[in-house]
Amino acid sequence: MPIGLVQPVARTLEEEVEEVAAISPTAAIPLAWSAVESELLAAVQRLAVSPDYPPYNSAVQNLRLLRDYGGLDENTYAVLDRMRQLRNRAVHGRMHPAAVSPHEAAEFGRFAQNVIRRLRDLKRE
């Protein structure tokens, strides 16, 4: 590696979210959610459950498609929908910056990582 170049360090989503949460907990929420949203899309594509071109689908639509397919139980669907709503409040300024602590934002990141693992485990039957 040439002198002066720094090799990027691979970090987990949880580590990235924790780092951002220490500075801005509200910003950590959309960071974690974006990874969940990407995995929702990947699951919809992998399972071929969308009649439309999946990248055009919203997160809500992808959640419904996975629930209707049977990949998400009602409880998981409800939790993911609440996570999405929290993300929307954070992004659209409907959340006071102090409403989420760094610990809560980091917890959101850990939960997002767990959900991503579950989504990656979904297989076509």
The set of residues, in sequence order, having a beta carbon less than 8 Å from that of 108 and lying 6+ positions away, is 17, 28, 29, 32, 83, 86, 100
The more confidently predicted of residues 15 and 93 is 15
Q: Is residue 64 part of a domain?
A: yes
Q: Is residue 18 part of a domain?
A: yes
Q: Among residues 58, 29, 23, which one has the least CA distance to residue 44?
A: 58
d(CA 125, CA 122): 9
44-69 pLDDT tens trace: 999 999 988 888 889 999 999 999 99
Whole-prediction pTM? 0.84
Percent of the chain with pLDDT over 90: 65
Other beta carbons within 10 angstroms of residue 110's beta carbon come to 15
Query: Domain range for residue 39?
Result: 13-121
Q: Is residue 54 part of a domain?
A: yes
Q: Is residue 25 part of a domain?
A: yes
Q: Is residue 2 part of a domain?
A: no
What integer pLDDT is reported at residue 95 of this predicted model? 72
